[in-house]
Amino acid sequence: MEISDGFIGAVGNTPLIRLRRLSEETGCEILGKAEFMNPGGSVKDRAAWAIIRTAERRGELRPGGTVVEGTAGNTGIGLAHICNARGYRCVIVIPETQSQEKIDLLATLGAEVRTVPAVPYRDPNNYQKVAGRLAEGLDNAIWANQFDNTANRDGHYETTGAEIWRQTEGRIDAFVSATGTGGTLAGVARYLKERRQSIRIVLADPAGSALYNYVLHGEPAASEGNSISEGIGSSRVTDNLKGTPIDDALVVPDQEAVPMVYRLLREEGLFVGSSTGVNVAAAVQVARRLGPGHKIVTVLCDGGGRYYSRLFNAAWLAEKGLAASG
């Protein structure tokens, strides 16, 4: 397939990249699914397209309609691109604490950005709930609802999971991933487990997230600390994550994830964001636990270009007590 049909045709089918130095070091084959190569720049292009195509198929979204979502991150960017490509209006509701960079980017992509006060999820004025109500009040509109709309994980089952299985020719021992909505981990884990039950599924959690305890003890409970990683970690078990077959979990502190981002840049030539640092650091830990000779796949979620003012800003890192080398 040399030619992709528009933006949407270019979503997915990303390369699986062998991380050469880390593979050499561990004696395992550590492979990263290059999601930063999606046309909107992140793994969330897949979820955005899955949610929109499912709504179209169900007749919930018709030509000229509106897509509403509460998100400050990659999902909003993916939705804005796809709305442009399909002729939809895109409304993004975000908490006012989000950086101007993100608001500007979404506006440049043509999304209508509505900022609301930053209040917790249980508050009815939380940005996600505002997005839901806004969509309800509009004709021919959907609330993307990436956390609990299982079209998200189904999209990853159909594409990301199937691609990993095909690209490794079924020779895969473990899949390791952090989760935000749970879409990536749930979709890929389900696909791989259906093919071979013994493939190990490992959740990588940033500090402060409740999912490590959920996997190990059955109850979500926040771990200690607070991570700089954006888009991953959760205080609750989303509908996308519910029922996912997960064998193990580990917590990756920023002190490990950040140096890994810089190693990927300097040693592998890959410019990625901090959730990728969490994923790859976790994949290396899994490689060490399993021992040499195993094949481990993880996700390279997005590119580093979205994080100049933070992860790639030495003064900001120092303020957080973090350093580029571990």
Active site members: 44
| CA 61, 64, 65, 70 torsion-angle sign | positive
Secondary structure in 3-state letters for 166-183:
HHCCCCCCEEEECCCCCH
User: In the complex, what is the shortest distance from the CB of residue 25 to ligand PMP, in angstroms, rounded to a whole number?
Assistant: 24
Distance CA 203, CA 206 (A): 10
Tokens of 54: 């499912």
For residue 139, the minimal CB distance to ligand PMP (Å) is: 29
**3-state class (DSSP) for residue 15:** coil
Q: Whose structure tokens read 């999606």?
A: 38
- Please identify, using beta-carbon distances, which residue of 38 and 294 lies nearer to ligand PMP: 38
Given the complex with ligand PMP, which of 66 and 179 has the nearer CB atom? Answer: 179
Residue 56: burial class (beta carbons within 10 Å; 0-12, 13-18, 19+): middle
Q: Minimum distance between the CB of residue 283 and ligand PMP, rounded to whole angstroms?
A: 14
Q: Which is nearer to ligand PMP, 254 or 302 (CB)?
A: 302
Tokens (6 digits) for 220? 């979500």
- Nearer to ligand PMP (CB atom), residue 286 or residue 301: 301
User: Which residues are near ligand PMP by CB under 6 A?
Assistant: 42-44, 73-74, 178-185, 230-232, 273, 275, 301-302
Helix-then-strand count for the chain, H and E: 13, 10
Minimum CB separation from ligand PMP for residue 288, in Å?
A: 23
